[in-house]
Structure 1
Amino acid sequence: MKRCQPSLKTRLVARQLILQFLTVAAAAIGFIIFFVNSSLDGMYVEEAVVKVAANSIVRDAAGAPIVEVTPELAKLREESLDLWFAARLSDDSVVAFGQVPAEYAPLVPHLDKLSSADMRGQFDPFTLSALVRRESGPAGDMKIIAHGRVQPFTALITIASNLVATAVFLALALVSVVVTPMIITRALAGVIKTAEEAERIDAGRRGLRLSEDKVPREIGPLVRAVNEAFDRLDEGDDRQNRFIASAAHELRTPIAILRMKIDTASDKGLRSLLPDISRLATLSEQLLDLHRLDNGAPSDRIDLVALARSVAADLTPVLIAAGKTIEVFVQQPGMIMGNTGSIERALTNLIQNAVEHGGDEVIVRVNGPSVEVEDNGPGIPGEEHERVLEPFHRLRPRSSGAGLGLNLVKQVVDHHSGRITIAESPSGGAIVRLAFTAVS
């Protein structure tokens, strides 16, 4: 099973995310290393102690603030035996819990003059590490100075760095996932346009080239290389067409002279060569038909009924002389746009092919924009329906044909954006149907 290549968008977004992650991670690590090696040391107090302290301060019946040991406060005291805090309420009353250090005791009445503060003790057990915060609780608004669980300052930096790095990375990732595909789509708009131009290039529309000015500069060399390859292919095709046309033209005259001489000869041995001469003449005409097809544009308004009757009338004398019949049935009139000479030659080839390889009855049927030729011969096996349309393929190896008739018909149909199908007739013969696009 062929491995599916990831899209350019997927690869660019994934690699950009990896680069962003590594960049943010490196910045966070550098941030941590900087602060670890700086003068910012000591132990800091966790913020949770302030909220626990505020929720434990209530008022008694007289309205004085007191400390009530809540479950949260009891748990915090178990974890930090040197827990202490003091608070100055909005009514200037003061309340304390635990052993407030002597260094901070004079500060408690003036806590309202502080906005906030972070103080880290220098010596173990770091009881001078404290926070000053504004908080609200059951007793109202207050300013609290508190000491509880402490951690190294580097741990705070690590947590903060990780949080900031995660937030920055998520923001960048969101931008990458949403914005990068939009940027890539706009950047590759020229490439998509060039791909659409490439889809319109085929054997019947030569001369088209990819637009180099619509693609990014990095893809320009590829587009130029493709256009140069098209130039070489067109040049080779032109040489081949010129050779075929020249060879066919050069063959017509000697073949005509040879046929005339053999036709007037009295020697039966020479006259037996007439079928071979006819085969050469047919082959040269088919080569010329291929050349005309490449240079002819489907621009005529064609009445399929009139064309079918005209071709049948031209071939009737030959068929009658061979003891065969041809009939034209019109189920529905049809008008198409095309090259009259090419379609006329294609229908002639179908009838000649039916006469040569079919039975003694040929029916040409017109049904709207389609025309079909039916014979009562041995037919074409189902497995050969596609192969008989290939150049130089002959259903019977000893057949006198060159194997170009049905291939020429297919090329005419393809040139007119039509479709050719082969089916079995009720009599056991073959039905070859040409379907075109109708015009009003």
Structure 2
Amino acid sequence: MTKRYPYSLRKRLFWRLLAVQSVVLILVVIVLISVGQMFDYRSTEGTIEILRRAVFRQPTGELSLRETEDLRQLRKDAPDLWYTIRDTQGHVLTEGRIPDEYASIGSALDHVGQARLGWNLGDQDRPAAARMKWIAMDWGQAQFLTGTDGPNSITFILFGVSLTLAKFVVPIVAVMALGALIATPMVVRRSLVGINQAALQADTIDVDQRGGRLSANDIPEEVAPLMRAVNRALGRLDEGYERQERFLTDAAHELRTPIAILNTRIGSLPHSAVKTDLLEDAARLAVLTEQMLDLQRLKQGKVQFTNINLGQLARKVIIEMAPLAFAAGYTVQFEVDGAGEIEGDPLALQRALMNILQNAINHGGRKGIISLTSGCNWIEVSDEGPGIPADLQERIFEPFFKRHHDGRGAGLGLNLVRDIMRMHRGEVTFDNRGLGAICRLSFPSGGTADDKTVSHLARAMD
């Protein structure tokens, strides 16, 4: 399939309009030359051209005609041939019966370069039409006067057309080109104002800006079907996205019960390595389910800010996550004596801290100490694992990014943590410190997240 590259509408309109105008103008000129009075002009011009080629000056100064083939053919085709040839020295060469109207013209037209002589519409007495023209010869200026039509050969037709094109059509085409060059960009720019506005609107449409449609104001009629088709496509995408969200929410709710039953049954098993692996897998399922529900809750703006004691929040999370850490082979260290209070959403911050601990359990090397400490407006989680490579420290917050392709996790945890911290006008940072990695959740001192910030996060997570 041949690749088609974008083209300039302005250039295409300019050249096509100019081509059409030029062709129409040339056709009109050809038609005018072929009929009416311009036909007479062409024929008489042919007679003068034959005479010009045949006339010469004798050594005595007299004017004479060579018996050229064209001249012989002209006398044969036009038995009524008449002409008068004069030079500036007064020499005259004539042939045929010169009409009385032109016999006495003499030097009356010496100061006229060329003229068509004849009659006007409405005249009762109509004299024969004639043509006078001064032509520069090698031996001087000569005046030709004749009223006999020459042969209608293609040569003279082309000569007349070429002469008219050179004198009239080319200048007119040049003027039209200049006008089209100026007018076409203006017309195109004004005609595409609506399309440019629709393009700006299209740039704002994203997965977090559903419901957007392209405006049909000031849209050319030819483009309107495309705009309507795009809007219908956007509507179908919105409907599909909403169905997908409803499905994920319903699926997450439905998974809670079987996961709880699974945890209960696994807990009743005797202690073994298999039980440990099953507990970890069930915990990941539970975390993933809660992440899906948290995403939907935050997208819908269902957050409620209250006073939160960071120490109590950390204690609640460590109690819930400690069994999983012990089962994976870690020792847990807990220090929150310096914890302060902030304002935030308890459920969201609890989920963020659980995701950080889950990340430490998954990537801490399954040995050493996992520490959870808290200060006035921060909480830190550290491990003694291999740490985070420098080239991955920024990418770990990308949605669906996983450090290892072992199938564990969906890559949503740290992305969710970052969004929750943005909602609280805080930040989450990772660093390598000695053995392992350390993650800090930092909150603004004495700051709260306003409704505008929460609303913006809900849209950003959509």
TM-score by length of 1: 0.61
In 2: Cα distance, 1:323 partner to 1:111 partner: 123
After superposition, give the CA deviation of every residue in 1:213-240 in whole Å (9 maximum; x if it has no partner): 4422222222222222222222121111
How far off is 1:202 after superposition?
0.5
After superposition, give the CA deviation of every residue in 1:119-147 in whole Å (9 maximum; x if it has no partner): 68xxxxxxx96459xxxxxxxxxxxx961
- Is contact 1:259–1:277 with CA below 8 Å preserved after alignment? yes
The answer on 1:350 being equivalent to 2:356 is yes
Instruction: Write the mapping of 1:258-407 to structure 2, written as runs, cut at 5 A.
Output: 258-259=262-263, 265=268, 267-268=270-271, 272=276, 273-296=278-301, 312=314, 314-315=316-317, 323-325=331-333, 345-346=351-352, 348-358=354-364, 360=369, 376-381=384-389, 386=395, 389-391=398-400, 393=402, 395=404, 397=406, 399=408, 401-407=409-415
How many equivalent pairs are there?
370
The answer on 1:147 being equivalent to 2:140 is no
After superposition, give the CA deviation of every residue in 1:147-193 in whole Å (9 maximum; x if it has no partner): 17999886456313332111111111111111111101111111111
CA separation of 1:111 and 1:11: change in aligned 2, threshold 3 A: closer
CA separation of 1:157 and 1:186: change in aligned 2, threshold 3 A: same
1:147 aligns to what SS in structure 2?
A: strand
2:280 alignment partner AA? P
In 1: Cα distance, 2:374 partner to 2:169 partner: 79
Instruction: Write the mapping of 1:419-430 to structure 2, written as runs, cut at 5 A.
Output: 425=432, 427=434, 429=436
How far off is 1:78 after superposition?
11
More moved, 356-365 vs 202-211: 356-365
How far off is 1:261 after superposition?
6.4
1:218 aligns to what SS in structure 2?
A: coil
CA separation of 1:106 and 1:423: change in aligned 2, threshold 3 A: same
CA separation of 1:277 and 1:371: change in aligned 2, threshold 3 A: closer
1:223 corresponds to which of 223, 227, 249: 227
CA separation of 1:42 and 1:364: change in aligned 2, threshold 3 A: farther
Aligned residue number for residue 169 of structure 1: 173
CA separation of 1:130 and 1:11: change in aligned 2, threshold 3 A: closer
After superposition, give the CA deviation of every residue in 1:12-51 in whole Å (9 maximum; x if it has no partner): 22222222222222223333333698333324879xxxxx
How far off is 1:383 after superposition?
6.7
2:115 aligns to what SS in structure 1?
A: strand
CA separation of 1:261 and 1:238: change in aligned 2, threshold 3 A: same
The answer on 1:197 being equivalent to 2:201 is yes
How far off is 1:352 after superposition?
3.4
In 2: Cα distance, 1:389 partner to 1:7 partner: 39
1:160 alignment partner AA? T
More moved, 148-157 vs 175-184: 148-157
CA separation of 1:3 and 1:290: change in aligned 2, threshold 3 A: same
Aligned residue number for residue 124 of structure 2: none
After superposition, give the CA deviation of every residue in 1:377-432 in whole Å (9 maximum; x if it has no partner): 31344676648845384616275x4543235446768x97x999997635475577
In 1: Cα distance, 2:29 partner to 2:176 partner: 15
1:296 aligns to what SS in structure 2?
A: coil
Over the matched positions of the two proteins, sequence identity in percent amounts to 33
In 1: Cα distance, 2:348 partner to 2:64 partner: 100
How far off is 1:241 after superposition?
1.1
How far off is 1:245 after superposition?
1.0
2:23 aligns to what SS in structure 1?
A: helix
In 2: Cα distance, 1:274 partner to 1:409 partner: 23
Aligned residue number for residue 32 of structure 1: 33
TM-score by length of 2: 0.59
